[in-house]
Structure 1
Amino acid sequence: MNKEQLQRIQSGKGFIAALDQSGGSTPKALRNYGISEDRYSTDEEMFNLVHEMRTRIMKSPAFDSKYILGAILFENTMERKIDDRYTADYLWEKKGIVPFLKVDKGLDELKEGVQLMKPIPHLEDLLKRAKEHRIFGTKMRSVIKEANPVGIKKIVEQQFEIAKQIMAAGLVPIIEPEIDIYSPDKAKSEKIMKEEFFHHLAELDQDAKVMFKLSLPSEDNFFKDLLEDPRVVRIVALSGGYSRDEANEILARNKGIIASFSRALTEGLNVHQTDKEFNETLEKAVLAIYEASIQ
């Protein structure tokens, strides 16, 4: 584990940019960027286009380590280059931004009120390649739709089981059981989930390091006690369907939690913008998310 990167993520001011749209979510990301499906006919063409979009974001002067602590990448992005450097090396060596990797392979069908992660084949090999690419940590997402104690218990068990494999490989896991913000019993789900977190944290070694990526809570500062656990490096928040302004407003009320926004970060960016327009739009988003993250 890179100690300089750990210190930056643990105590630095800023937020984590989520640039990890995978195969299933890439077409929507490209549509939002102004690129329709008729612009590509193969997965390779699609991934080329989304890498061009991400490269434009990462090379922008607005994508600055003064405001951005880390960036989460998709596996395909990790294997590609920016200016003759692998993406993770470009981020850290040129920008001073800590690289993370999304490792999950999507969601299973809804069962017992939750969507577990699909199996992650060849995880050991993926983690080995992540280390070779000097990735600092990983992210994996599952989803909670209902306050079903059985389902939530399974979600958290699965997350921690994989997190242990990731820690054993020398990486820091971001545990992400997203709670649907439209769930009518969201607050109840949060209480069940947090109890499960503490149960599993207590079973880890004292020097273990994990992060959480969570939906913005129904009750302000609900995760304050979780932040105080010495094994928790940081808690980051996903925007989860809120507009950027809404997400920033809620985030600013939750002390100690920082953003890890995807759609809310890239909101308003378009392939047809001039570099000046693009950079100004991104800068506005970065500054707003940064301000909400340091309150």
Structure 2
Amino acid sequence: MASVKLNAPSSHWIGGGRSLNRRFAFRTEIPRAVTIRAGSYTEELLQTAKSIASPGRGILAIDESNATCGKRLASIGLDNTEANRQAYRQLLLTTSGLGEYISGAILFEETLYQSTIDGTKFVDCLRGENIVPGIKVDKGLVPLPGSNNESWCQGFDGLASRCAEYYKQGARFAKWRTVVSIPCGPSALAVKEAAWGLARYAAIAQDNGLVPIVEPEILLDGDHAIERTLEVAENVWAEVFFYLAQNNVVFEGILLKPSMVTPGAEHKEKASPETIAKYTLTMLKRRVPPAVPGIMFLSGGQSEVEATLNLNAMNQSPNPWHVSFSYARALQNTVLKTWKGQPENVETAQKALLIRAKANSMAQLGRYSAEGENDEAKKGMFQKGYTY
């Protein structure tokens, strides 16, 4: 395996030790030489990341677990059966013209191996639209012993072999979601666990040909001000990149899926898109190396319109990354309610998907206007302690 020598920082801590309660410590950086691997998949990883982070396009996240997908189906009166899950995902993945606005689609394992009713593999439907298939590889959140009622993400058992099988099935990128809760502290243990877990997953994914999406979601829960969110986000991403470097992850072959920097959902003062953009870009510029090709934001319970407006505001000024979207509910909410499980509504629902995808495409280019958006698209979707 070839390798290259780079100067990368080691870290020492000042400011009261590694306490992450209310006042965070800060790293001082001392250059040191480290060896960064350049394995057999490196060039492919870079090309995959570049393809996903292409102008005017973003990610459709349909990687909900079967249980969560069941909740979505129940909201329109459908039973949680494989046939109904397949029908809904077929609606999404066979939308003609979707590839103009969508560059990647994150799938749940069941979906990766499914086909349309006429036998066309879903991964082939995506490839036909020049959309890169991706796969959720984590196994969900569980309580973190010793923490302040926080969680950690499981799924390392068999991860390498699963990634290898997903690659054979056609997946070319992966996603691993862990969460950080501001009302819970967050504790030093939870932040370190989240960062280290993401780094180990990213290294394993790259070793098996999958571009890792790195996602430490900072939940919207709480009544804190936007300044507190920025403080926590900066600390979390500092930890994440420290451990990514320690695990020799190739930064040019990853994508990020951060939360936008917003006030807590219960905070009395809402922030404008311009304010959210200012704070979010401040965090990125302070913590994210320009080598990272794509920043694919999650919507985190915002309304469809809010998520699009905030993304648009971030693209009003130059930045060194492809700042785009990886939305689930913020792309699907109107689609699902339009479909209602009725075959005769499929075409109308697919048109609704294209409308939302195009809106976010325009936002990625900084050209979106909310004029003409309907009331349904303006409804918030925040759920306290959201897991899936």
TM-score (norm 2): 0.68
C-alpha deviation, 1:4, in angstroms: 5.0
Correspondence for 1:43: none
Q: Distance in 2 between matches of 1:158 and 1:19?
A: 23
Offset of residue 225 of structure 1: 4.9
Task: Quote the residue 2:285 is aligned against.
Answer: 224
Matches within 5 A, 1:106-145: 106-109=140-143, 111-112=147-148, 114-145=150-181
After TM superposition, give the deviation of residue 75 of structure 1 in Å: 0.3
Q: Would you say 1:150 and 2:189 are equivalent positions?
A: yes
CA distance in 2 between counterparts of 1:131 and 1:114 reads: 32
Consecutive aligned runs of 4 or more in structure 1 exceeding 6 Å deviation: none
Determine the C-alpha separation between the residues in 2 that align with 1:238 and 1:98: 18
Residue of structure 2 equivalent to 1:252? 312
Unaligned runs of 5+ in 2: 1-40, 263-278, 316-321, 367-388
Deviation, structure 1 residue 119: 3.4
Alpha-carbon deviation of 1:257?
1.8
Residue 130 of structure 1: how far off its partner (Å):
0.8
Q: Structure 1 CA distance, aligned partners of 2:250 and 2:111?
A: 33
- Quick one: structure 1 residues 154 and 31, their matched pair in 2 at CA, closer, same or farther if it must change by over 3 Å? same
State the distance in 2 between where 1:56 and 1:206 align: 35
The corresponding residue for 1:59 is 94
Out of 57, 60, 67, the residue aligned to residue 17 of structure 1 is: 60
C-alpha distance 225-84 of structure 1, shift in aligned 2 (>3 A): farther
CA distance, structure 2, for counterparts of residue 217 and residue 264 of structure 1: 17
- Identify if the C-alpha distance between structure 1 residues 152 and 35 changes in structure 2 by more than 3 Å, giving closer, same or farther: same
User: Residue 209 of structure 1 aligns with which residue?
Assistant: 253
Alignment of 1:51-90 (within 5 A): 51-62=86-97, 64-82=98-116, 83-90=118-125
Instruction: Please say which of residues 109-118 and 189-198 is displaced more in the overlay.
Output: 109-118
What secondary structure is seen at the aligned counterpart in 1 of 2:352?
helix
Q: CA shift at 1:159, angstroms?
A: 0.9
Pick closer, same or farther for the CA change 1:194–1:6 going to 2, 3 Å.
closer
Aligned equivalent of 1:35 = 77
- Give the counterpart letter for 1:85 in structure 2: T
Aligned length: 284
> Is the CA contact (8 Å cut-off) linking 2:211 and 2:254 kept in structure 1?
yes
1:11 Cα deviation (Å)? Answer: 3.5
Partner residue, 1:170: 209
Other structure's SS at 1:72 match: strand
SS of aligned partner of 1:85: coil
Larger radius of gyration: 2
Q: CA deviation at 1:208?
A: 5.7
Task: Give the counterpart letter for 2:295 in structure 1.
Answer: I
- Contact 2:55-2:365 within 8 A present in 1 as well: no
Displacement of 1:206: 5.3
Preserved CA contact (<8 Å) 2:137 2:174: yes
In the alignment, the residues of structure 2 paired with residue 6 and residue 208 of structure 1 have an alpha-carbon distance, to the nearest angstrom, of 8
Q: % of aligned pairs identical?
A: 25
Question: Counterparts of 2:252 and 2:299 in 1: how far apart (Å)?
Answer: 27
RMSD: 2.2
The letter for the 2-side match of 1:294 is L
- Residue 132 of structure 1 aligns to a residue in which SS? helix
- 2-side partners of 1:240 and 1:220: how far apart? 14
Instruction: Return the alpha-carbon distance in structure 1 between the equivalents of residues 250 and 166 of structure 2.
Output: 25
Are the equivalent residues in 1 in contact too, given 2:257–2:326 (CA < 8 A)? Answer: yes
Tell me the distance in 2 between the aligned counterparts of 1:234 and 1:199. Answer: 18
Counterparts of 2:113 and 2:216 in 1: how far apart (Å)? 26
Task: Summarize the Cα distance change of 1:227–1:199 in structure 2 as closer, same or farther, 3 Å threshold.
Answer: closer
Q: Deviations over 1:105-138 (max 9, x none)?
A: 1101263364210234322231121111121110
Secondary structure, aligned partner of 1:257: strand
The question of whether the paired residues in 2 share the 8 Å contact of 1:215 and 1:238 is answered with yes
The residue aligned with 1:191 is 234
Within the candidate set 240, 257, 274, 2:300 is matched to 240
Matched residue type, 2:257: K
CA deviation map 1:128-175 (0-9, x unaligned): 211111211100111101233331121111110111111111211111
| Contact 1:107–1:142 under 8 Å retained in 2 | yes
Task: Specify the code of the residue in structure 1 equivalent to 2:200.
Answer: E
Per the alignment, in what secondary structure is the counterpart of residue 258 of structure 1?
strand
Corresponding residue for 2:356?
Answer: 285
Once the two structures are overlaid, the 10-residue window that deviates more, 7-16 or 18-27, is: 7-16
